[in-house]
């Protein structure tokens, strides 16, 4: 096979065969194809798209480019979740302990943040001592002993995706439906779960700007999962405004702890209960819990009893973290400079644009513009206002946690741009737009 023929075929709008897709993934992973040829193919895929069969073949080829984790010696049915990425999305930190507290083993690998999108691993690293890098042996031993693991992805999991994602990042080919769907699903399929809950975000702070596009992406991923024999649920959730109030790594850990302690922002708590309930629904396989209401009630019991918080504490302890930060989140890394942004006018909150809040957090040093950038775990913003809320002049709109006064000042224009007002009532944003079963 010649790569130039594969590129030409896709450039001309023809479907690639499974054999051609498997060949190019195998050769690229082995280092036998130059980046410029794979870049050309990615751009052709960006413009021409892929059929369902091609997308499934690409996902399976990427999943099989490394190790396929087999968790059957740990549990007969593993469940996993994945968020397509957003601002203030610390859901995993709450959902995993809650699901574990209901007696369902969870062994999850998560990613780092890039651009507007935060990453669970960066948030966990805000906890002093927490080990995000585990060997496969440690991962398995911990899953077997405690039924609870949360760590970074090992290099062995879908390495083709790692190489291709790096290339997409620098060739303008990230926002392609089949490429996003296959990238996400290759890692999910390789990590061995029988049931997968997808939290597909839409809005200003997400890859998918509209509900329709998020539904399309979710449907592609559901098809891939089902064709690969997995049980799937996809939630389409709002990412026009940040999820919860905290954006920034240590601040988000503190908000997750507050939520597991029964407090935290209402939207974030409700979001976590729904995602966790979906995981229980899959884990129960129609037998252990009767319906979604039963799953929600079980999760709420784990939340209100403190069992979820105890599981987060256990997770931190077994992965070497300082548990005193869970008992007292004020012991998490603290920014030296804290400033409050107040409303210059009153009115109904019309927008809290998640992308602008993310830019504020990036300006403070809470995220990465490009891979490898160093992040400051202590900095970020807390934005307690939500679309539809009434705000009085002088009321606090945001608390800025910065490394210096100059850095805090740099974040202010982004926050002013993010939060806009209307003189007439504004409907609050829904948490979810759709559920695809």
Chain residues that interact with ligand URA, rule: CB under 6 A: 84-85, 165, 174, 179-180, 183-184, 207
144 is catalytic: no
Work out how close the CB of 80 gets to ligand URA at its nearest, in angstroms, rounded to a whole number: 13
Residue nearer to ligand URA on the CB measure, 40 or 208: 208
Residue nearer to ligand URA on the CB measure, 165 or 268: 165
183 is catalytic: yes
168 is catalytic: yes
Residue nearer to ligand URA on the CB measure, 165 or 433: 165
39, 65, 110, 183: the catalytic one is 183
187, 271, 313, 401: the catalytic one is 187
Residue nearer to ligand URA on the CB measure, 46 or 165: 165
64, 81, 168, 201: the catalytic one is 168
Work out how close the CB of 186 gets to ligand URA at its nearest, in angstroms, rounded to a whole number: 9
80, 89, 122, 161: the catalytic one is 161
Rounded to an integer, what distance in angstroms lies between the CA atom of residue 325 and that of residue 403?
20
Residue nearer to ligand URA on the CB measure, 176 or 407: 176
Work out how close the CB of 31 gets to ligand URA at its nearest, in angstroms, rounded to a whole number: 22
Q: What is the 3-state secondary structure (H, E, C) of the chain?
A: CCHHHHHHHHHCCCCCCHHHHHHHHHHHHCCCCCHHHHHHHHHHHHHHCCCHHHHHHHHHHHHCCCCCCCCCCCCCCCEEEEECCCCCCCHHHHHHHHHHHCCCCEEEEECCCECCECCHHHHHCCCCCCCCCCCHHHHHHHHHHHCEEEEECCCCCCHHHHHHHHHHHHHCCCCCHHHHHHHHHHHHHHCCCCEEEEEEEECCCCCECCHHHHHHHHHHHHHHHHHCCCEEEEEEEECCCCCCCEECHHHHHHHHHHHHCCCCCHHHHHHHHHHHHHHHHHHHCCCCCCCHHHHHHHHHHHHHCCHHHHHHHHHHHHCCCCCHHHHCHHHCCCCCEEEEEECCCCEEEEEECHHHHHHHHHHHCCCCCCCCCCCCCCCEEECCCCCCCEECCCCEEEEEEECCHHHHHHHHHHHHHHEEEECCCCCCCCCEEEEEC
Residue nearer to ligand URA on the CB measure, 304 or 371: 371
Cβ atoms within 10 Å, residue 227? 16
- Each residue of 145-164: b (16+ CB within 10 Å) or e? ebbbbbbbbbeebbbbbbbb
Work out how close the CB of 116 gets to ligand URA at its nearest, in angstroms, rounded to a whole number: 11
Work out how close the CB of 334 gets to ligand URA at its nearest, in angstroms, rounded to a whole number: 31
Name the residue whose CB lies closest to ligand URA: 183
356 is catalytic: no
187 is catalytic: yes
Extract the tokens encoding 292: 């979604």
Work out how close the CB of 382 gets to ligand URA at its nearest, in angstroms, rounded to a whole number: 26
10, 64, 81, 82: the catalytic one is 82
Residue nearer to ligand URA on the CB measure, 208 or 247: 208
Work out how close the CB of 224 gets to ligand URA at its nearest, in angstroms, rounded to a whole number: 13
* Catalytic sites, residue numbers: 82, 161, 168, 183, 187
């Amino acid at each position: 096979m010649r790569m130039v023929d594969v590129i030409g075929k896709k450039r001309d709008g023809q479907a690639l065969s499974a054999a051609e897709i498997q060949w190019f993934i195998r050769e690229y992973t082995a280092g036998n194809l130059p980046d410029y040829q794979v870049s050309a193919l990615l751009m052709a895929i960006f413009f021409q798209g892929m059929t369902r069969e091609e997308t499934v073949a690409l996902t399976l080829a990427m999943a099989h480019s490394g190790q396929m984790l087999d968790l059957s010696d740990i549990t007969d049915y593993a469940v996993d979740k994945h968020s397509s990425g957003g601002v203030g999305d610390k859901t995993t930190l709450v959902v995993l302990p809650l699901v574990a507290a209901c007696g369902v083993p969870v062994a999850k690998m998560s990613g780092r943040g890039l651009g507007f999108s935060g990453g669970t691993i960066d948030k966990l690293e805000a906890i002093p001592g927490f080990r995000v890098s585990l060997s496969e042996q440690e991962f398995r031993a911990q899953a077997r002993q405690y039924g609870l693991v949360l760590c970074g992805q090992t290099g062995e999991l879908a390495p083709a995706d790692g190489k291709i994602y790096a290339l997409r990042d620098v060739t303008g080919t990230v926002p392609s439906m089949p490429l996003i769907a296959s990238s996400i699903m290759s890692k999910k399929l390789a990590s061995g779960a029988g049931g997968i809950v997808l939290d597909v975000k839409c809005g200003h702070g997400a890859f998918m700007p509209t509900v329709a596009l998020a539904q399309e992406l979710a449907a592609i991923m559901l098809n891939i999962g089902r064709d690969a024999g997995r049980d799937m649920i996809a939630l389409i959730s709002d990412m026009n405004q940040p999820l919860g109030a905290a954006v920034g790594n240590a601040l988000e850990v503190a908000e997750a702890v507050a939520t597991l302690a029964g407090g935290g922002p209402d939207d974030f708590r409700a979001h976590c209960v729904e995602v966790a309930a979906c995981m229980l629904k899959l884990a129960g396989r129609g037998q252990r819990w009767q319906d979604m209401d039963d799953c929600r009630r079980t999760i709420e019991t784990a939340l209100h009893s403190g069992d979820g918080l105890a599981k987060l504490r256990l997770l931190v302890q077994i992965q070497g973290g300082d548990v005193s930060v869970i008992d007292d989140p004020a012991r998490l890394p603290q920014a030296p400079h804290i400033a409050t942004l107040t409303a210059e006018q009153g009115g109904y909150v019309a927008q809290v644009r998640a992308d602008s809040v993310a830019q504020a957090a990036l300006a403070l040093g809470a995220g990465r513009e490009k891979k490898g950038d160093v992040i400051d775990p202590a900095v970020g913003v807390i934005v307690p206002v939500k679309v539809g809320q009434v705000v009085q002049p002088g009321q606090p709109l945001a608390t800025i946690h910065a490394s210096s006064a100059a850095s805090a000042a740099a974040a202010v224009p982004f926050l002013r741009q993010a939060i806009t007002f209307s003189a007439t009532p504004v409907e609050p944003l829904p948490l979810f737009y759709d559920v695809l079963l």
